[in-house]
Amino acid sequence: MRMRWTLLGLVLATMLVMTATAAPSVIAQGAKKTIKLSMVSYKFTPDPPARMMGDFPIITVNRGDTVVFQISNDDPDRRNHSFAARWLMNIQVQARGQFRTGEADERRFFAAQPGEKFELELTFNQVGSFPFVCGVFDHAWRGLGGAINVAVPRQ
């Protein structure tokens, strides 16, 4: 278990170093993007498809973009799942739909039972890589995780 977390940490740290180029001091006004995330068994499956790092999707957006995540629990084995991250504790999120929210393990989570759907709308004003996992029991350890890579918009 520790090996998987170490590997995920190294991947995310590498991505952070790669994207932390000199950023202008003015926050760019970004686009509004919709990304569908399906939680099935022990994977997040994004639409449109994302670059994959093993089983983990890496979703890339630009600094200043407002992203609407349309998240659904489509698990055929009827497991509960969640979208959880530490960085969600410090960012304004508009949430709509069927979900339960709270804080656990120093992370804010949005949980859905099988068949439920919800939306999270947020704006990324910081460049870097932001990991997310399923906060239910051992789901992250089994592969239910990913990252949002926020890049400097190209001129």
Ramachandran angles phi, psi of 39, nearest 5°: -100, 110
Residues 73-124: pLDDT tens digits? 999 999 999 999 999 999 999 999 999 999 999 999 999 999 999 999 999 9
Domain containing residue 37:
2-22+31-151
Domain count, the chain: 1
Residues in the chain: 155
CATH code for position 129: 2.60.40.420
Strands (E), 4-127: 32-40, 43-47, 51-53, 56-62, 66-73, 81-85, 94-97, 100-104, 107-112, 117-123
Distance (Å, whole) CA 148 – CA 39? 16
CB 81 within 8 A of CB 136: yes
Helix, strand or coil, per DSSP, at residue 89: helix
* pTM, 2 dp: 0.79
Residues 122-146: pLDDT tens digits? 999 999 999 999 999 999 889 899 9
